[in-house]
Amino acid sequence: MTVSVADIDRWDAGDVREVFHATRSRAEAAFEASNGIAELPAFGSWGGEASEAAKESIGQTRKDLDAHGNEALAVAQAASQAADDVDEVKGKLATLRSEAESLGMIVDPVTNTIEPGPGAAGADPMEITLKQMQLQPRLDAILAEAATVDTELAAAINMATGAAPIPDTGPPVGPEGLTPTQVASEANKNRLEQQRTTTQARVDALQRRFDDLARQAYMGDTSIATRSEMESLATQLNDSKRYLGDLNAVHDALGKAPETYLTMFDPRTGSGDPVLAAIAVGNPDTASKVSVTVPGVGSTTKDSLSSMVGEANDLRRTTQLQMDRLGIPGSVATVAWMGYDTPPNPIDTLSPADLWTTMTDDQAQVGASSLSSYLEQLGTTSPDAEVTLLGHSYGSLTSSLALQDLAAQGLHPVDNVVFYGSPGLSLTDPAQLGLGEGNAFVMQAPGDQITGIVAPLAPLHGWGADPYAGILPELSSQGGIDPGGVLREGVSSHADYPRAVDGNLRMSGYNLAAVIAGLPDDQLVMAPTPPAVPLIPHVPPGGQIPIPRPTPGG
């Protein structure tokens, strides 16, 4: 359906915002029978698809409210976008009118054409035609844009009335509107999409230039200048493609669960460093339980973030199920925090330098600083939530350092922590973590040689006590044999803890969920405590004797 200049003149972005604000406010009364969208006829005089949708909506009950009386963010976003676009179209039309007037022309709101105005009296007909040829294409473009806006607005109205389905990717908006995390996430997503567009354009431009030069070279151009530019372009192209890969990975990871928020986004544009991001599944602002997972060696935004989000979604569900089973009210949000540069996996890179990096805590220290800031912010936006930090592998060291850093400042945004697959925590006394007694746990698996061989050496190279020597209570990662004689699944390798066999959460996943849910101690499955026998007898320097540890893998 076409939109006329007269229609645009009647548009009022304020109407759009007001109507949708009003319908959102009424979400509290979602179940009242007379919950029609009475205000929508405000669009009735507009013309276009939005007008038709508004007329058909009269008397209709809102159909987009879920059992909690929430409205899908998709509706609010569509309306907000339409309102912004209305402003933009009206602004462009006003500019065109002003320029036309300065040329003695007018915009005819009935015919949608540029016509001679009073100022053009007596003008040369050819001159008038030239001015029309100059201005009419711009008016046509504005009208085309207006038609798109009209379609957007009609879609918003139809979603609000239930005439059109709301995309199931639309997260809920509470009666109070968007929460701080939702607002920040939308801003981050917009920045992400802008970066993707810009970077894709750069990749395309570099590729075109490179292809041109390659053709020249093929045709016989052997100049040093051409070869030099091609070499330079190849480097730039590779860097840009790698950066685009990171950005696309964040975009894809956001699509790995129905309700995701980009809670942190650091594009590090132009630095050559990987993109950093954190993605929440569920809204941390409204959840009563929030977890933050910190990954370890070899984890990257490009290769790991999607899987981390999938695992976070599994963890959210398992935690919610456990809360419901025990009658604990509230909801859950789980955050996949890819907020620091983990040491590259030396097995993948075969680099001695990378191997050395994994043996030092330099990157853990840098990561801990970023993590501390993130957790502090989380404590501000989710002050009533019970927050659990989950540190895997090198990420457990990063997590421990962050907690110690926060505790040293007198800050305590985290309630519980689980360190799993840990090589060491730079910790000699659990009190350094600043958590309540019984709120910090470790977990290990019998097949995990990081905990089996590296962790006992922690005291030797300055990473504190062996985390598994008894300084912290140990959760079971194992199934073992059930009373019916059936072998239960357990974690068997270093990367297995959050994953479960083929993607299922097993005992380790149950225990992580139980801690996040704040279940009572009798619901946690602890590792058995066989007679304490050190796996590797060693004499530490300075007379510091590590606490003998039980057999791992309980």
Partner 1 sequence: MSGVRIILAVVVLSMAALTGCGTTSGDNGGTAMTGTESSDPEATLRTRPSFEEAQRQYRAAVQDWATQIASKSPGLTWRVKEDSWGGCTGDYANRPGVHTYIYVVFDGPIPDGVWPSALDVVQRGAAQLGATDVTTAVDRPGDHDVIFSGSDGVAVEFGTKVAGVLSAKSDCRLRQADVPASSP
Least distance to partner 1, CB of residue 233, Å: 28
DSSP letters spanning 85-116: HHHHHHHHHHHHHHHHHHTTEEEETTTTEEEE
Least distance to partner 1, CB of residue 188, Å: 19
What CA–CA distance (Å, rounded) separates 243 from 536?
A: 44
Which CB, 434 or 473, lies closer to partner 1? 473
Which CB, 5 or 469, lies closer to partner 1? 469
Hey, what are 132's tokens?
A: 């029309």
Which CB, 270 or 327, lies closer to partner 1? 327
Which CB, 174 or 343, lies closer to partner 1? 343
Least distance to partner 1, CB of residue 124, Å: 58
Q: How far is CA 3 from CA 86, 113, 402, 431, 457, in A?
A: 12, 13, 57, 68, 73
Strands 276-281 and 289-294: unpaired
What CA–CA distance (Å, rounded) separates 180 from 380?
A: 10
What CA–CA distance (Å, rounded) separates 231 from 521?
A: 62
What CA–CA distance (Å, rounded) separates 197 from 178?
A: 26
Which CB, 199 or 313, lies closer to partner 1? 313
Least distance to partner 1, CB of residue 306, Å: 5
What CA–CA distance (Å, rounded) separates 459 from 43?
A: 71
Which CB, 48 or 274, lies closer to partner 1? 274
Least distance to partner 1, CB of residue 202, Å: 23
Which CB, 290 or 458, lies closer to partner 1? 458
What CA–CA distance (Å, rounded) separates 517 from 288?
A: 9
What CA–CA distance (Å, rounded) separates 222 from 83?
A: 56
Q: Which of 514, 392, 398, 394 is nearest to 443 (CA)?
A: 392
Which CB, 13 or 315, lies closer to partner 1? 315
What CA–CA distance (Å, rounded) separates 47 from 7?
A: 6
Residues 6+ apart with CB under 8 A from 202: 240
Least distance to partner 1, CB of residue 68, Å: 11
Least distance to partner 1, CB of residue 523, Å: 6
Which CB, 168 or 429, lies closer to partner 1? 168
Which residue is it, tokens 């050496």?
A: 457
Least distance to partner 1, CB of residue 63, Å: 17
Half-sphere exposure of 360 (CA within 13 A, CB side): 11
Least distance to partner 1, CB of residue 304, Å: 4
Q: Is 525 helix (H, G, I), strand (E, B) or coil?
A: coil
